[in-house]
Structures are given as C-alpha cells and as structure tokens.
C-alpha cells in the first residue's frame, strides 16, 4: 500500500505507545519507516523495540549520539513523505499547535513540509478540555490530519473518548493522505447514524442503545475514499468524522425530513441509524406526574428507508437489519420490501456484536440472494468491507 514511501513515526509518552510498535511493523511491510520518540515515550516502550522494527536508529535527543547534532533535525524533517504522530499526547499536540520545538519530534514537525497526521490518545477529560480542543482545531485549520480517538474503557479506568484509534483507521488515513484515495471520488454519500429520541414530556424520551459508531465509521471511511459525505446523526457523543458534513437531528421525524431533503443530491444512501419504530402518541407539555402515568400510547413512526427508497431512481441504497432470530429470512424480506441494493444484517445478541462496542459481526446480503459473512471485526473494518461491496456495485 505504501511501497516506496518514507514514513516518519513520532511516538510520544502515553500508554498507547506500545500500539505504535504494531503499526510500525505493519507500515514496514511496504514503506521505509523511521521512528522519533519523545523522552516520555521511552518510559513506555524501549527505543530498541522501534530500532528493531524499523531497521533504523531511533532519534530521541536533539543533541543525541549518532547524528550531526547541528543539522540532524533538518535532515530528519526533509526525509519523510509523511509524519505520523502516534500516539499523540495532549502535550505534543499543544506544542505543535503553538509552534514550540523543545525536543527532536516537535522540532522536526516545525521544520518539515510533509503532511502530518496526529493520532491523539489521552484521558477523556483531557480530550474534552477546551484548551486541547482549541489546539486540535488549530492543527486541523492548518491542514494537519487527525485520526480521532475511539470511545470505551481507557487505561486510566475511566470510560469515554480518548482511546487510540484502531490500526485500520490509522492505515486508512495514511492511505488517504499518501495515495489520495480515489475509489469513491466524485460520489456523494448520505449516511444516517445513531438512535433517535422520541420525547414523552420535557424531560423524558424513548430511545434505544445505538451508539452511532457503525454509521460514523462508514461516514469516515467513505470520506477517506474520496466521497463527499453528509452524515445525518441522531443524538450521540461522537465527534464529527473526518471531512464529513454533519447534520444533527433528534427525532425520527426530523431524520425523515433531513433524508428527504438531502437524498436528491446524493448517489448513495446508507441507512445505519437505529430509527425508533414508535413514538409517544402525545408529547406532554409538562412533566408527567407519576400518579397520572400508568400506560403509554404509541404511534408508529414513518419507515424512512422504505419511504425514500420508493423513489430512489438509480441511487444505491444500503440498509441495516437488526435481527435476533431467523436472521437471514427476515433480512431477505426487508431487503426486498425496502428496495435495498445491500442489507447489512447483525444480531446484537452475539458476543462482540451490536451496541456500544467497537466490534461487530455482520453478514452482507446482496440483491441476488448471495451473502458475505464477515467474522468478528472492528467497526472500521466492517465499514471498509461494506464500502468494498458498494464499490463493486458502483463499478
Ligand atoms: N429504518 C428506517 N426507519 C424506521 C425504522 C427502520 O429507515 N422507522 C431503517 C433502518 O435504518 C435500517 C432498516 O430500516 O436500515 C431496518 O431496520 P430494523 O430496525 O432492522 O427493521 P424494522 O423495519 O424496524 O423492522 P423490525 O424492527 O420489525 O425488525
């Protein structure tokens, strides 16, 4: 994938530093890789590991041994086609945003003209801190690339956003930056994601356990393949995927309106949202008192996919199906009824599949009845497999 390319990997001091070792090994299969570490990174992984994996001496000190101290940082800065900072701590991102150059890595970043990708990994509160967010935005505005961290259990024991992105995501970003991925260039893709919230009164709503991760992964991966992507998202805590336009909605009705409005200007619709099938028949204007609430009257929401697919023209439509029994039988009926070109079937009761996790187990059902069964994979890898199928249809 990266044959003939020179990639400089900057490793900074976070627990995820060990994951950089796997990445260097992967990159080394096709690229020439050199590693620069901060001193703090050396507390987590030995430079020797990276020396062995990259086949080059690792740079740490600005005035280290083995290279001409006066110009070493310039030589290193001129060398790569790409700089990948992985993991990137809040500290290094802050320094890069402010043009500070107090160690070998930050000095190289300042002196280099190659594109830079940062892969942040940190505690959730550090990630949410306004100072960090400002620094990240500054780097993005300056043309740097960010592979957003994932959500889940962090090394510090807290749960939230801040985990180093998955290897597939980082490799997809490198591919995009180095090779200018063009597979979906010129295509406009509309993706829906997340749950919808159906209000019962001013403080309560009906919802489901969808995290939005699958739809967000699809939106990001489609963008990394060159598509112009609009993501219509129900309420989630996830950051806007890279290079996508984000349209936030809350209810099934709002999502329906947004899809109707945006579909005409798109070539593909991927309906990954877990749209509520029912909403309270009446939305109380005041908080319902417990004495008065004994039962709930529900009204069916519009089936967005079924409604818009009627007039899809030559657009391609990918639906999702969540089934807990007789999966493929129900899925085949849904694919036909909702006029889908592909249907991604998952059963959330399988371990590693479904809601709130970073992995999924799906089967992709095609219109001709054939299927592609995928093993347990990260949601990014599932997104890539779905987009591979989409590309086959487009070609
Ligand atoms: N969908 C939709 N609008 C709804 C419900 C579902 O557009 N009101 C879409 C989903 O985004 C998904 C597909 O329809 O792509 C299938 O969703 P699923 O929940 O599996 O099926 P339902 O049609 O809701 O059927 P059931 O819940 O009875 O299995």
Query: Per-residue pLDDT for 66 more than 70?
Result: no
**Same domain for 301 and 217:** yes
pLDDT of residue 67: 67
**Same domain for 157 and 213:** no
pLDDT of residue 295: 86
Of 126, 173, 107, nearest in space to 145 by CA = 173
pLDDT of residue 106: 97
Q: Is there a domain that residue 378 lies in? A: yes
pTM: 0.78
Atom of ligand 1 lying closest to residue 338 CA: 14
**Same domain for 247 and 138:** no
Query: What is the count of structural domains for the chain?
Result: 2
Mean pLDDT over 31-42 rounds to 97
**Same domain for 169 and 48:** yes
331 C-alpha to center of ligand 1: Å? Answer: 11
**pLDDT range class, residue 381, cuts 50, 70, 90:** confident
**Same domain for 137 and 230:** no
Give the percent of the chain with pLDDT over 70. 98
Nearest CA to ligand 1 atom 9: 305
- Distance from C-alpha of 192 to C-alpha of 208, rounded to nearest angstrom: 15
Q: Is there a domain that residue 315 lies in? A: yes
- Probe target for ligand 1 pocket from 269, 272, 303, with the most ligand atoms within 8 Å of CB: 303
Q: Is there a domain that residue 74 lies in? A: yes
**Same domain for 128 and 239:** no
**pLDDT range class, residue 98, cuts 50, 70, 90:** very high
Task: Report the CATH number at residue 268.
Answer: 3.40.50.10300
Give the percent of the chain with pLDDT over 90. 74
In DSSP notation, 150-166 reads EEEE-TTS-EEEEEPPP
**pLDDT range class, residue 181, cuts 50, 70, 90:** low
The answer to whether residue 156 is catalytic is yes
At 380, is the secondary structure helix, strand, or coil? helix
**Same domain for 247 and 384:** yes
pLDDT tens digits, residue range 301-325? 999 999 999 999 999 999 999 888 8
**Same domain for 366 and 218:** yes
Computed over every residue of the chain, the mean pLDDT equals 93
- Probe target for ligand 1 pocket from 277, 279, 329, with the most ligand atoms within 8 Å of CB: 277
Q: From 144, 179, 214, give the residue that closes a domain.
A: 179
Q: Is there a domain that residue 1 lies in? A: no
Query: Per-residue pLDDT for 33 more than 70?
Result: yes
Atom of ligand 1 lying closest to residue 321 CA: 20
Structural domain span for residue 115: 6-179
Q: Euclidean distance between the first and final Cα of the chain, in Å? A: 21
Atom of ligand 1 lying closest to residue 319 CA: 15
- Distance from C-alpha of 176 to C-alpha of 181, rounded to nearest angstrom: 5
Q: From 179, 205, 225, give the residue that closes a domain.
A: 179
Task: Report the CATH number at residue 127.
Answer: 3.40.50.1950
Atom of ligand 1 lying closest to residue 318 CA: 15
Q: Is there a domain that residue 334 lies in? A: yes
350 C-alpha to center of ligand 1: Å? Answer: 19
Q: Is there a domain that residue 205 lies in? A: yes
Query: Per-residue pLDDT for 243 more than 80?
Result: yes
Whether 271 lines ligand 1, by a CB cut-off of 6 Å, is yes
Q: Is there a domain that residue 390 lies in? A: yes
pLDDT of residue 80: 96
pLDDT of residue 350: 81
**Same domain for 167 and 310:** no
**Same domain for 351 and 270:** yes
At 274, is the secondary structure helix, strand, or coil? strand
**Same domain for 221 and 88:** no
**Same domain for 222 and 162:** no
Of residues 266 and 140, more confidence is placed in 266
Mean pLDDT over 128-153 rounds to 90
Q: Is there a domain that residue 230 lies in? A: yes
Q: From 161, 179, 197, give the residue that closes a domain.
A: 179
Whether 275 lines ligand 1, by a CB cut-off of 6 Å, is yes
Query: Per-residue pLDDT for 50 more than 90?
Result: yes
């Amino acid at each position: 994938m990266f044959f003939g390319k020179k990639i400089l990997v900057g490793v900074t001091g976070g627990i995820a530093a060990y994951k950089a070792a796997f990445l260097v090994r992967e990159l080394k299969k096709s690229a020439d890789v050199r590693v620069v570490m901060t001193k703090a990174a050396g507390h987590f992984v030995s430079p020797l590991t990276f020396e062995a994996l990259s086949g080059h001496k690792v740079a740490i000190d600005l005035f280290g041994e083995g290279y001409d101290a006066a110009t070493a940082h310039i030589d290193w800065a001129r060398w790569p086609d790409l700089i990948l900072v992985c993991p990137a701590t809040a500290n290094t991102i802050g320094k890069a945003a402010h043009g500070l150059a107090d160690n070998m890595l930050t000095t190289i970043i300042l002196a280099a003209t190659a594109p830079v990708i940062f892969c942040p990994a940190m505690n959730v509160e550090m990630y949410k801190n306004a100072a960090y967010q400002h620094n990240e935005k500054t780097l993005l505005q300056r043309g740097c690339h960010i592979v957003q961290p994932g959500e889940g259990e962090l090394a510090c024991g807290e749960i939230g956003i801040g985990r180093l992105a998955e290897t597939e995501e980082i490799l997809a970003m490198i591919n995009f930056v180095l090779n200018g991925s063009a597979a979906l260039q010129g295509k406009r893709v509309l993706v829906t994601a997340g749950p919808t919230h159906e209000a019962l009164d001013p403080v309560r709503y009906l919802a489901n356990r969808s995290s939005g991760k699958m739809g967000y992964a699809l939106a990001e991966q489609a963008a990394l393949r060159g598509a112009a992507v609009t993501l219509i998202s129900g309420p989630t805590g996830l950051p806007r995927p890279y290079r996508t336009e984000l349209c936030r909605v809350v209810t099934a009705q709002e999502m329906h309106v947004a899809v109707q409005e945006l579909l005409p200007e798109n070539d593909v619709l991927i309906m990954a949202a877990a749209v509520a099938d029912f909403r309270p028949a009446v939305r109380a204007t005041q908080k319902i008192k417990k004495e008065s609430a004994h039962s709930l009257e529900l009204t069916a929401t519009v089936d967005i996919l079924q409604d818009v697919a009627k007039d899809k023209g030559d657009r391609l439509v990918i639906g999702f199906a969540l089934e807990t029994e007789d999966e493929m039988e129900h899925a085949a009926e849904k694919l036909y009824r909702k006029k889908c070109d592909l249907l991604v079937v998952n059963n959330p009761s399988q371990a590693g599949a479904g809601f709130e996790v970073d992995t999924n187990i799906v089967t992709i059902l095609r219109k001709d009845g054939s299927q592609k069964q995928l093993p347990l994979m990260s949601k990014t890898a599932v997104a890539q497999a779905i987009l591979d199928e989409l590309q086959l249809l487009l070609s």
